Structure formats: C-alpha cells, structure tokens
Amino acid sequence: MMIHPVIRTRLFSFMVFSICFAGLAQAGQDPSLDKQAIRAIVEELLLEKPQIIVESHQKFMQKRSDEEDQKSTAHISKRLKESPNLLTISGTPTFKSKGKSKEKIHVFVSPYCGHCQEFLKQAKTFSENNPDYHIEIFLVASPKDLASNSLAKALAALAQMDESLGLFSRFFNKVRERVNPLEQENILKIATLLGVKEEEFKSLMESPKVEAYLSEVNHAAKELQISGYPTFLRKSPEQKGSYPKYMTVSGFPNTLEALKKALELP
C-alpha cells in the first residue's frame, strides 16, 4: 500500500529517536538530557551504526505493508467472489507469453507512478521469459488528473492498435525519458515518431472503447479498495475462484525482483 511521503518521514523520525532513547536507557543515562547532549549522542550513534536505522525502517515498513495486505486480501477475495467478472475488462493490455500460460497476473498501475513505470519497462521481457504467466495491465487514472488520464488513454489506445504491445512498450519507454507529465500534444508527437497515424490514434484515444476500459478499471480499483500502486493480484492455486491480493510493492526497490520472489522464480 502506498504511504504518503510525509507520513513515512514522520514514522522514520519517530523510529530514529526511539532507537536513540533506547540506547540511552541501556547506557544508564537520563533521556531528559539537554538537547545538545542528546543531539551529540544521536549523531555518534548514527555515525557508528547507520545500518541500524536503515534496517529498522525497512522492517517496520515491511511489517506495516504485510498487515495491510492481510486486511485487503480478505476484502478482495470477498468482492471477487461476489463479482467474479470484475477483472474481466475488454481492451485490457496484456503481455502474452509464447507458451500456454497457466496463470494471469493482474497488475493495477498508475501511469506516472515511478514503481509502476519501472515494472512496465520490464513487463514484456518478464512475460516472454516466463511462459507460465500472462501479465494483464489495468491503467488507473483519475479523470480529474488530465496528464495521467491522457497518458492512460494513449497506452490503452496503443494496446488496441497493436495487441502484441510492441507499440505500447516503445511508446512507454519514450515517455519515461521525459521528466515532466506530458500534454496531449506531446503524446501525439511521440506516437507519430513511432509511425502511428496521428488522426487514427487521437480518434482511438477518445473512443467509447477506451473510455469504457478506463471507466471499468477505475470501478474495479474502487470496488477492491486498491489505492497503492503497483498492486499485483493473482488467482490463488489453493482457492478456486478466489483472487487474494498476494503482494503490494510500494516504497521497496525493484518491483520485478519482488514479483519473481513471490512467484518463486529464479
């Protein structure tokens, strides 16, 4: 689950001082020392063993994430049992492996999310190298966020123009080179550089089919209470008809490695 950076920073600061005061207590000193004395001790501790803070922060964040995942797993399983077609959405971009895939991985992404972009960059290669899995991409974008919504429309349109997702991947890699969110005019320019006919592309972006896809994805995300991205869903091999959320990668490095670990892949 995505945690707001301000909240994450405050939690991190709280842990730092908790560890420092614990160190003071163990040393038999009074935690009510003046600020300068406390600061000196804190700085000395951080200089001597900075890895303690990093490791504690990672463990704390992982524990929080695991607890949230357990709660959301139950809700997602319940909602998908009640509405089994919630993830059956026409026009969903899918990275298909060449083999006979045995399982679908459903991935909810936000177009300008850094972790999502890192995953999408590698999703095609992952699917090609792991024939047991198809990767379905659910693009979540608020209609009020014009930049994110335009990019989501563009990606959905390209997926319909080329089901192999070759254009999708090439376009996305070009977008990643840009620092700032793109205006629709720049999105069209990038697409034309890849050989896409501008009028056809623009028409498809605004088509009822793309609008319906985005609307259904937003509805599914809302119903499943998904708010952190990327969120990965898989069908449980132990529970037929159940789709528990098995992983949420947020704030931890390399989402592809995390996915491979969860699937017990080399």
Q: Exposed/middle/buried for 178, CB within 10 Å: 0-12, 13-18, 19+?
A: exposed
- Return the SS3 of 114: helix
pLDDT value, residue 155:
93
CB atoms within 10 A of CB 167: 21
For the chain, domains (ranges, CATH) are 5-82 (no CATH), 94-262 (3.40.30.10)
- As a whole number of angstroms, the distance between CA 137 and CA 134 comes to 10
Q: How far is CA 40 from CA 18, 30, 51, in A?
A: 16, 14, 18
b/e per residue 85-99 (b: at least 16 CB within 10 A): ebbebebbbbbbbee
Contact 265, 130 (CB under 8 A): yes
pTM, full prediction:
0.72
pLDDT of residue 252: 47
- Which residue intervals of the chain are DSSP H helices? 5-26, 35-48, 50-82, 114-129, 146-161, 166-176, 184-193, 198-205, 208-223, 255-262
* Beta strands across the sheet bearing 231-234: 94-95, 133-139, 103-109, 231-234, 245-248
Residues 6+ apart with CB under 8 A from 231: 107, 108, 245, 247, 248
pLDDT in tens, the chain (266 residues): 444 444 444 555 555 555 555 554 544 455 555 677 777 877 787 788 777 777 777 777 777 766 776 777 778 888 888 898 999 999 999 988 776 767 888 999 998 888 888 888 888 888 888 888 889 999 998 878 888 899 999 999 999 998 888 889 888 888 877 767 778 888 988 999 889 999 999 999 999 999 999 999 999 999 998 878 888 888 765 555 555 555 554 434 557 777 777 777 76
